[in-house]
Structure 1
Amino acid sequence: MGPRANALGLIVNGDYILLEEQAGKHSRGTGAFYRPIGGTIEFGERSVETLKREFKEELDVEVFISRYITCLENIYTIEEDMAHEITQIYVVEFKDPSLYKRDVFTVTEGNIVTQARWISLKELEHKVLFPNGLMELLKREFMGGEE
């Protein structure tokens, strides 16, 4: 199997970022982990279209793309199975400003239902965050370059 191309959208609200909370096996063990909203880029689909589709499918909200940040390449192993992701990262914003006041969002992906919530950027230092390299990117882009 080759690399998987995906796109993730960062929604920042002051000192908070909206992240989906999941639990299970991951490349650093087992337990809770956090990731931005997004998903796999479908064949023939541009990454910005992927983000709009994923936010609509998973959160039932509309977003617009504010800016492109970078591409993160993530190679990792979960229980001896190697995976390779090439992830386009964007800053996105809700079209409906009232959504920034909502504390929790229901995330529906097929039969799996999780939640997304606002997490303090400083609190992320103590959380498992994916994809790898995202914490450094957040520090550079939203926390004044603290390393």
Structure 2
Amino acid sequence: MHPRANVLGLLMKDNCILLEERYGKHSKGTGYYYRPIGGTIEFGEHSTETLVREFQEELGVEIVINQYITCIENIFTIEGNTGHEITQVYVVIFKDERYYEQERFLVSEGEMQTSAKWVLIEEALSGEKVVYPTSLVERCKHIYF
């Protein structure tokens, strides 16, 4: 087994970050958890290309990549199964500013549909919202939070 290479985009407005909301089993138990929009980097695809593609596929929106932030190595266990991800993280902005007014977004990933919403940064920092990868908020808070 090999680590999975993926990419995430941090999209901010006011004191909020756009996060996908999911419900299920995660490394801290079962319940709601949150993650930025992004996905798996395909072979031969640059992480920036992946991020633009993922926002288009999942939300149906165009983004502009604003800044590279960091790379996070995330090793986690869910129900005895170990996962390993190498994650590139960027700050992104909507091409169309009207999307900043939208409260919720339908997230489509193949057959699965969830939603993304603006989450207060304080809720992520305090641990009130479970955000993955686990070190994301801590790693990035000195930059934007």
Structure 1 unaligned segments of length 5 or more: list them: none
Following TM superposition, by how much is the alpha carbon of 1:137 offset from its aligned partner in structure 2, in angstroms?
2.4
Partner of 1:63: 63
CA distances 1:65-116 after superposition (whole Å, capped 9, x unpaired): 0000000000000111101000000000000000000000000000100000
Q: How many residues align?
A: 143
The alpha carbon displacement at 1:138 in A equals 3.5
Residue identity opposite 1:59 in structure 2: L
Unaligned 5+ runs, structure 2:
none
Q: Given the alignment of the two structures, is residue 41 of structure 1 paired with residue 25 of structure 2, yes or no?
A: no
Q: Residue 66 of structure 1 aligns to a residue in which SS?
A: strand
TM-score normalised to the size of structure 2? Answer: 0.97
Q: Does 1:135 align with 2:137?
A: yes
Q: Is the 8 A contact 2:66 2:90 kept in 1?
A: yes
Give distance in 1, aligned partners of 2:88 and 2:13. Answer: 21
Q: Which runs of 4+ in 1 moved over 4 A?
A: none
Residue 41 of structure 1 deviates from its aligned partner by 0.1
Partner Cα separation in structure 1 for residue 39 and residue 48 of structure 2: 11
Look up the SS of the partner of 2:114 in the other structure.
strand
CA-based RMSD: 0.7
- Taking structure 1 as the reference length, what is the TM-score of the superposition? 0.95
